[in-house]
Structure 1
């Protein structure tokens, strides 16, 4: 369907056509009742008869409508007019990064490029915290608009979640023959049809940054099969080969972002942006007033970022443990190219892609916003790499009664004049190994909350944290803080972190340790949570994205004698006004997925 200027569709008055993509066309339209313009997206008529296309089109609205963040395009409404599906989105006048790249380095300086990537990173990280992937990050899907309240004078927004999917539904590159990612920016695991997570978006953002700095795709080749081959087998390109005047440190940043192995990439999009800023000696904006803090996957996957300047937390009594440190950033280790026997598979995929490559972005004239930091308030448990496992080191067992609850007030100021004043839960006991592990884990969780916001000015307060449970074999702790922007935002954000320590071996109990098969355990948690949430303040209309079976969604858990206590963060399963939600899943309901012998530990 083609709409003419002056015509009316679903009550909207069409002003002009903004552009079109693989899924549909976008029009500038006047709202039927409010004095504002909207970007009205219609599914292309040639796809209207496709159930799959309709489902994907509806999913774009459903997923994007749950995201509320200044760096994501906002969805205002959706509907069906006759047989025509449509979505009304926030319209923001501006351009897209693809247009800036085409304009050249006189328009897109390294400083501007990094600032734009930083804004886009916040939007992507926010979506990732809710278990959502974009899967088509590219210059055409990053919009730039004037924003006088930003230090840089402009704001970057992520658009077109039309192919976004839950992290648990991302095992394939193509669906019914339709390419669902732009090959020039697609991660190797995405091209091979393997399972993907948020690190595929990090790869694509790294590829986008490379293009913004150089004006070229990372792997410019004559045909798509050659591009796929390069993504899978060739080392990441060096920015300094094209722009030798830039510092060589930026090559290490791109190399890590474009690592073949996802575990060698950055843990978050913001980590990538901050590393790029450091490499290029660029000061990122600090006035992101509306941006909630990113709490994250930071302790859920392997990472080696260079930490920002850290405030020094005062040591707990009676003896000061060493401050947790993080290893310096290292370039990714060389990855082994795919075995030759796999060549026919991905060549066939690439060939299919050439035939059916139809993906396009939302028209670049749309400019809008939505949400950024599994997780906007996902937890930061100290644990947590997938390789975590109970230590085989023998530690003298300390009876639970020997541990007592205590606390310490931690307050201070960060290098950018942010302040924190938090009461940290601590334990005391004769078993020094358990005491140290618990206390340092809680302190590390607070440090993560501070470090995660190093580029912003904020206040962090909290007096409601507690040692939630001391059992015969386990100690659990809850860190609750309140984050607010400076100057204060409309609503402070409640941040949550949990710590669970096995007192028999002084090791963290992570989800990897708790479940015999973590994927099966997460699916079980998702199912159980769905039955409990309607009885909470989240209600029957709880946000299903908040309980998708991802590690980020269920990272905040604590042991109780009766069951697994899940803490859902502010905005995760309900509107911001609902606040934190807690449900308890009985251990007997999880018995078929728990690791052997673990129930007697966590239920003690």
Structure 2
């Protein structure tokens, strides 16, 4: 693919279950001084009502104009292929940084993501995509990428919590309550923040045994296992992660801001 919607692709910079991300030269209509931008191209064919809902959610995200959130430019549809463009962060993400990222910076990045999630929650938006790959790195800050919107493009294609093309390694970011039919909310994003913090602190997730290529087998393993923070973490670190991933959503942090306060208090 050489481009879409007037954007000319320079190179691919990311790939996931729901699509690809390209570094691109923007069209003149964008008026961003010809700076390169990132364009996410979704792999699912977009139904008309699904695309409208995606645009609505992205507009709500963009309207916050928070320095904790990636700057979105526009969303578009070419044929049945949906895409959105955003500010390009050249240093990658917590999952795939393009420069060295120390432990302190990783923890601070998760704290910023938690405050970004709180801002979304206060605006009535559930992110549903919190994970290291969606925490983007700039020179002196981290920003949270756009909320998960791929599941609204083709209604009925995605299972609760894990897409039909899902990777078992992504499953641990899904609140088990969602897998049991509960609606997404503050509690589900806080779960994902807890898993993300554990990875930032240790370099690995809470479910190392989730290696099956079959999402349904992985889901059964996931629901039967109660994760515990790594024993090598400090008492305070284990307490923050443990509260965020408590099996009872009512026992987790009441807000992502409260979790961010505890993250900021961790020794680094």
TM-score range, shorter chain: 0.7 to 0.9
Query: 2:162, 2:60 → 1: CA distance?
Result: 19
Deviation for aligned residue 1:274: 2.2
- Calculate the TM-score normalised by the size of structure 1: 0.38
Mapping of residues 29-48 of structure 1, within 5 Å: 29-33=24-28, 34=31, 35=33, 36-44=35-43, 47-48=44-45
What do the CA deviations read for 1:259-288 (whole angstroms, capped 9, x no partner)? Answer: 01111001122322322343x335xxxxxx
- Alignment partners' CA distance in 1, 2:204 and 2:95: 11
Distance 1:125 1:262, change over 3 A: same
Tell me how far 1:232 sits from its aligned partner. Answer: 3.8
Return the index of the structure with the highest Cα Rg: 1
Measure the CA separation in 1 of the matches of 2:5 and 2:220. Answer: 46
Partner residue, 1:435 = none
Q: Report what 1:248 is aligned to.
A: 235
Asked if structure 1 preserves the Cα contact closer than 8 Å seen for 2:92 and 2:137, the reply is yes
- What is the total number of aligned residue pairs between the two structures? 254
- Tell me whether 1:199 sits opposite 2:192 in the alignment: no
- CA 1:174/1:268 → structure 2, altered by over 3 Å: closer, same or farther? closer
- The partner residue of 1:92 within 89, 105, 118 is 89
Q: Summarize the Cα distance change of 1:199–1:43 in structure 2 as closer, same or farther, 3 Å threshold.
A: same
Distance (Å, rounded) in 1 between the aligned partners of 2:77 and 2:218: 39
Please give the secondary structure, in 1, of the residue aligned with 2:206.
Answer: coil
Secondary structure of 1:96's counterpart equals: coil
The one of 17, 28, 32 equivalent to 1:22 is 17
Gaps of 5+ in 1: 147-153, 167-171, 283-604
Select which of 108, 130, 151 maps to 2:102. 108
Structure 1's consecutive aligned runs of 4 or more residues displaced over 6 angstroms after TM superposition are none
Q: Distance in 1 between matches of 2:57 and 2:96?
A: 24
Render the CA deviation track for 1:156-182: whole Å, top value 9, x for unaligned: 11114133899xxxxx71599565993
Match of 2:229 in 1: 238
Match of 2:137 among 133, 144, 158: 144
Q: Which residue of 1 aligns with 2:128?
A: 135
The one-character-per-residue Cα deviations of 1:28-57 (angstroms, maximum 9, x if unpaired) are 22233332222122233xx32655764564
Q: Secondary structure at the match of 1:89?
A: strand
Q: Work out the CA distance in 2 between the residues paired with 1:68 and 1:190.
A: 29
Separation (CA, whole Å) in 1 of partners of 2:243 and 2:109: 19
**Residues 134 and 165 in structure 1, CA contact (< 8 A), matched pair in contact too:** no
Separation in structure 2 between the aligned mates of residue 176 and residue 249 of structure 1, nearest angstrom = 34
Q: Which has the higher helix share?
A: 2
> What is the CA–CA distance in structure 2 between the aligned matches of 1:29 and 1:80, rounded to whole Å?
16
Change (3 A) 1:77 1:107: closer
Equivalent-residue separation in structure 1 for 2:47 and 2:162 (angstroms): 12
In 1, the alpha carbon distance for the partners of 2:80 and 2:175 equals 36
Distance 1:259 1:174 in 2: 18
Q: What CA distance in whole angstroms lies between the structure 2 residues aligned with 1:231 and 1:27?
A: 32
The question of 1:188 aligning with 2:159 is answered no
How many Å apart are 1:82 and its aligned residue? 4.4
Alpha carbons of 1:200 and 1:112: their partners in 2 closer, same or farther (altered >3 Å)? Answer: same
- Following superposition of structure 1 onto structure 2, how do residues 479-490 of structure 1 map, counting pairs within 5 Å? none
CA RMSD of aligned residues (A): 3.2
TM-score normalised by L of structure 2: 0.80
Could you tell me how far apart the structure 1 residues matched to 2:200 and 2:58 are? 29
Match of 1:405 in 2: none
Q: 1:41 to 1:253 in 2, by over 3 A?
A: closer
Contact 1:219 1:230 (8 Å CA) reproduced: no
| Equivalent position of 1:550 in the other structure | none
* 1-structure distance, mates of 2:70, 2:113: 11
Evaluate the alpha carbon distance shift between residue 253 and residue 164 of structure 1 in structure 2; reply closer, same or farther with a 3 A threshold: farther
Distance 1:163 1:128, change over 3 A: same
Cα deviations by residue, 1:332-356 (Å, 9 ceiling, x for unpaired): xxxxxxxxxxxxxxxxxxxxxxxxx
Cα offsets for 1:313-366 (capped at 9, x unmatched): xxxxxxxxxxxxxxxxxxxxxxxxxxxxxxxxxxxxxxxxxxxxxxxxxxxxxx
Secondary structure of 1:99 counterpart: coil
